[in-house]
Amino acid sequence: MLKRDFLKNGLLTMVGALVSPALLAAAHEEKLLREARAMPIADGPFSLPALPYAFNALEPHIDAKTMEIHHDAHHKTYVSKLNEAVAGKPEEKLSLAQLLASASKQPDAIRNNAGGHWNHSFFWLLLAPKGGGQPTGALAAAINKDFGSYEKFQEEFTKAATSRFGSGWAWLIHDKQAGKLAITSTPNQDNPLMDLPGIQRGTPLLGLDVWEHAYYLKYQNKRPDYVKAFYNVINWAEVNRRFDEARKG
One-letter identity of residue 64: A
| Rounded distance between C-alpha atoms, residue 141 and residue 149, angstroms | 9
Residues placed in the known binding site for Mn(2+): 70, 120, 209, 213
| Rounded distance between C-alpha atoms, residue 167 and residue 38, angstroms | 26
The answer to whether 81 and 172 have CB atoms below 8 angstroms apart is: no
Q: Which residues contact 15 (CB under 8 A, 6 or more apart)?
A: none
Half-sphere exposure of 132 (CA within 13 A, CB side): 12
Residue 85 neighbours by CB distance under 10 Å: 22
The answer to whether 208 and 161 have CB atoms below 8 angstroms apart is: yes
Q: Which residues contact 69 (CB under 8 A, 6 or more apart)?
A: 29, 30, 32, 33, 213, 217
| Rounded distance between C-alpha atoms, residue 142 and residue 89, angstroms | 42
Residues placed in the known binding site: 70, 120, 209, 213
* DSSP 8-state assignment for residue 134: -
